[in-house]
Amino acid sequence: MFDWKHRYQPLLSDLEANDQEDWASQIADQLYRRFESNPHGDLARWNAALSALPVLHEVEADLNAPAVTLQTQAPLNPTQQKDLETGLRGLMPWRKGPFDFFGTYIDTEWRSDWKWDRVVPYVSPLDGRRVLDVGCGSGYHLWRMAGAGAEEVIGVDPGLLFLMQFFSVKDYLSEPRVHMLPARLEDLPPQLACFDTTFSMGVLYHRRSPLDHLLELRDTLRDGGELVLETLVVDGPEGYSLMPEDRYGMMRNVWFLPTCDTLLRWLDRTGFRDARVVDVSVTTTEEQRSTDWMRFQSLQDFLDPDDPTRTVEGYPGPRRATLVASKG
Ligand SMILES: Nc1ncnc2c1ncn2[C@@H]1O[C@H](C[S@+](CC[C@H]([NH3+])C(=O)[O-])CC(=O)[O-])[C@@H](O)[C@H]1O
C-alpha cells in the first residue's frame, strides 16, 4: 500500500512545529480518506509502478535545467534501466514536464518549461519565500520553484496520478523543502495567510466560480504577498467573458474565459492591488502535443483542421495571459 504516513511525516511535523496543528490534522484526515478509507481504483497499480523504480543512492538533481534532471555518478546497470522504464511507463500518461530520469527523457505532453520561462521574469525573486502552487499537476513547477531558491514549496492538486509522478522524483531526493498534497485549493483551511507567493496556473477556467477562486487565493497569502495567475483569455471589452456552451477545445469543465481587462477588474474587486498583465501567448501545437509518454489526443486534435486559430467547437483558440498582483 502507498506509504503516505512515512512520506508525509516530515511535512506534518513541520506544520505542528510552526503552530499549524489544525492544518496538520486536517491534512492527515484527508490523506487517510484518499489512501485508506476510499482509495482510487488505480492506486494499487500506480503504487506498484512507483515501487518498481530502482533504488539508487547519491542521486543529484538539476532543478534549473529545462528538464528536471536526476543523475547518479555511475550509469544505471541493465536491470536498473529496465526497472526504471517499467516504473515510469506504469505512471503514464505524463502530461506536465519534461523530466530526465538518469538519462531517460520523459517528453511530456506539455513543454511546461516554456510556461516557466514566460512567467519567471516577472515574479518577485523566490529566494527565501514560502510558495504555494495551486493545480501543480505532476509537480514540475514545484521543482523549478525550489531551483529558484524558494525556502518551502507546497503544491496542491487533486489528481492522484500526478501525485505518484511527483513522488517518482521526490523519493530519489533528500529535498525537504518540496511537498505536494492531493487536495483542491478549496480543501485547504480558510485564511491560511502564510504564503509569500501563490501561483495559480491553468486552474481559473476550470472553476465554476472564478471570483471565489481569486478570494481563496488571496486568503492563502500574507499581507503584501504576491499572486501569479495564468489562465485562458479571449479578446473583447472590459467586463466581457466567454462561457462555452459545453466543451472548449474538447475540455470539459471550462467555465469562464475573460478578457485581460475583465481579469484586472476581477482582481481589483477581490482585494488585489498593482495587478498587471505581464504576458499573453498563444498556445501552440509545439507546446502541447501527443508524445511517446502521452499517447492520447492533444491540442492538434482539439483545433479546427480548416482553421487552426479556432477550436473544434468554433471558439477562439487557446491564448493564455499571466498576471501578477499583490494582496492589498
Ligand atoms: N480546485 C482545484 N484546486 C487545485 N487544483 C485543481 C483544481 N481544479 C483543477 N485543478 C488541477 O489544476 C490542474 C490544471 S492543468 C495546469 C497544471 C500546471 N499548473 C501548469 O500550469 O502547467 C491545466 C489543464 O490541464 O487544463 C490539473 O492538474 C487539475 O487537476
Indicate which atom in ligand 1 lies nearest the CA of residue 200: 19
The per-residue pLDDT for 174 is 82
Residue whose CB lies within 8 A of the most ligand 1 atoms, among 134, 157, 184, for a mutation test: 157
Q: In 3D, which of 107, 111, 99 has the Cα closest to residue 71?
A: 99
The per-residue pLDDT for 1 is 85
Could you tell me if 158 and 184 are in contact, meaning their C-beta atoms sit under 8 angstroms apart?
yes
Tell me the mean pLDDT in the region 285-299.
98
* Residue pLDDT, tens place only, 65-93: 999 999 999 999 999 999 999 999 999 99
Tell me the mean pLDDT in the region 275-298.
98
User: Edge-to-edge strand order for the sheet containing 104-106?
Assistant: 60-62, 68-71, 99-101, 104-106
Give this complex's ipTM. Answer: 0.99
- Give the annotated binding-site residues for carboxy-S-adenosyl-L-methionine: 96, 110, 115, 135, 185-186, 201, 205, 320
Distance 283 CA to ligand 1 centre (A): 16
Contacts (Cβ under 8 Å, ≥6 apart) of 38: none
* Residue pLDDT, tens place only, 216-245: 999 999 999 999 999 999 999 999 999 999
Q: How confident is the model at residue 246 (pLDDT cuts 50, 70, 90)?
A: very high
Name the residue at shortest CA distance from atom 11 of ligand 1: 135
* Residue pLDDT, tens place only, 38-60: 899 999 999 999 999 999 999 99
Residue 328 has pLDDT above 90, yes or no: no
Q: Are strands 195-201 and 130-134 parallel, antiparallel or unpaired?
A: parallel
* Residue pLDDT, tens place only, 22-37: 999 999 999 999 999 9
Count other C-beta atoms under 10 Å from residue 75's C-beta. Answer: 10
Distance 159 CA to ligand 1 centre (A): 9
Pocket of ligand 1 (CB under 6 A): 96, 110, 112, 115, 134-137, 156-159, 162, 184-186, 201-203, 206
Distance CA 141, CA 201 (A): 10
Which grid coordinates are listed for 147?
531551483
Name the residue at shortest CA distance from atom 26 of ligand 1: 202
According to DSSP, residue 126 is labeled -
Distance CA 50, CA 128 (A): 31
Indicate which atom in ligand 1 lies nearest the CA of residue 96: 22
Residue 126 has pLDDT above 90, yes or no: yes
